[in-house]
Amino acid sequence: MAFDKYVKLPGSERKPMPGAAKTGVLDPNEPMHVTVVLRERPAAKNQPSLAELVASGRRVSRDEYAAQYGADPKDVQEVEKFAHAHGLKVGQVNLPARTVALTGSCSAFAKAFQVDLATYQYQGSAYRGRTGAVNIPTELSDIVRGVHGLDNRPQAKTHFRMATDASAAAATSYTAVQIAHAYNFPTSVNGKGQTIAIIELGGGYKSADLKAYFKSLKISPAPSVSAVSVDKAKNKPTGDTNGPDTEVMLDIEVAGAVAPGAKIVVYFAPNTDAGFLDAINQAAMDKTHKPSVISISWGGPESSWTAQSLQNYNSALQAAAAVGVTVCCASGDNGSTDGSSDGSDQVDFPSSSPYSLACGGTSLDISGSAIASEVVWNDLPNGGATGGGVSATFPLPSYQANAKVPPSAATGNQGRGVPDVSGDADPQTGYLVQADGSQFVVGGTSAVAPLWAGLVALFNQMIGTPVGYLNPNLYQKVALAAGTFNDITSGNNGDYKAGPGWDACSGWGSPNGTAILKALSSAGSSGS
């Protein structure tokens, strides 16, 4: 094939990061790793489309998913021809995730996809960037749905916040066990037989810290924790508690404290558009560890993503739903603007995907082992606040039809409302954690995603089958049952206020875990 006629890849347009400066050309021999996303295999006769499958509440095994909805090997062959024609090597082919990994030099990729790659400086560090669209040969225009990794800017941010005085002695804090008691988590199960996947885009954990932490909680044996490398990233602690180590440890310690019998598998990936996507796909389709729930505490405003990324990540989350995996995502720590560069109201992605269980934040006061008070977490303007609002990208899902989701304060349109649920996130009523040899207090919606992931693992063990794509059941049955949520009716996150029922800063509220389990057991766990 000649591959001499090109078209723009829809949704691939990039701009420099706000405030970034172009500083020079790249070494043409710099090695690169790029992930190409392919179209879904056409549905066989009498087979529902992927969207129809998920909407029906049915699910398939990972093998069935690969055979029915993964990439067509013939499409992979076309990409391989293109790669070889441009001196690129084909790496891992992930048929269920519909991805093909390509490696090669900077100059080869620039020529293959007709992009101008350059070095940009942003907040004291450099990244490889591009502007404009990615271009692909016309022969691939019906096959390729995304090209990720040409640009390696940091794609997502952590969603944890340190307490003003984070020392364990000075701050009001709780262990995750105390919070689980206040939220009435089931106590007859511990997550045994389940695997919780945690996605991390930097930092690492030290086994000595985990051992000491769980010993301090009198949890014995300590939860099983293992690391999986995605795109050559590894468990690599930085030694800086202000960096990603705290995110990693918070996620593991919260999930492990509430579901100590579950296996915890941490997928370490580069903090890039390609790395994050590859991690979600790898966790969702992992036939070795078989996670039943994924916890994600990284994200960014919808405007910080390309349109192709929003859609391809959403497809990856939809695939997780199809194989019965619940994905819990932090909703952000910057209120209704989500820290957007222009100050407009935005929601955080990937929590804004309709296939994510979006986790918002509250400020929790516990007296004894019971909730004394609980309001929306908002320490603005000097601190953080729970993310929440209305998506400008994803339309209102059918399961939210009766949730009274308001029009977007930014666009006036009605879209996917965020969050779905909430939990303690205020760093001033935060979680006691241990990282890099010291104990301190941390909050943020980063804590709520693993809290809910641990709760889902308990549900899965008790029910005997994964609850999977929880959102339809949550809105149409569970949240409507008496006593399943602690309704948060006081506070705001900026432009959205709490009120009775669902709202765009606390969702349905914080969990009454045992009541939710009862409602799920009676409703069935299929998500229908």
Provide the annotated active-site residues: 247, 251, 446
Amino acid at 47: Q
* Locus of tokens 């969207």: 51
Among 465, 489, 498, residue whose Cα is nearest residue 59: 465
The continuous run of DSSP H or E covering 102 comes out as strand 99-105
40: left (phi over 0), alpha (psi -120 to 50) or beta: beta
* Locus of tokens 């066990």: 177
Among 170, 157, 172, 158, residue whose Cα is nearest residue 431: 172
Among 288, 283, 297, residue whose Cα is nearest residue 97: 283
Do 357 and 421 contact (CB within 8 A), yes or no? yes
Token duo for residue 248: 């990693």
DSSP letters spanning 106-157: HHHHHHHTT--EEEEEETTEEEEEE-B--EEEGGGTTTEEEEESSS-S---E
Among 378, 400, 371, residue whose Cα is nearest residue 485: 371
Residue environment code for 318-333, b if the CB has 16+ CB neighbours within 10 A, otherwise e: bbbbbbbbbbbbbbbb
* CB atoms inside a 10 Å sphere around CB 463: 15
**Can you give the three-state secondary structure of 192-261, one letter per residue?**
CCCEEEEEECCCCCCHHHHHHHHHHCCCCCCCEEEEEECCCCCCCCCCCCCCHHHHHHHHHHHHHHHCCC
- Measure the CA–CA gap between 273 and 280, rounded to whole angstroms: 11
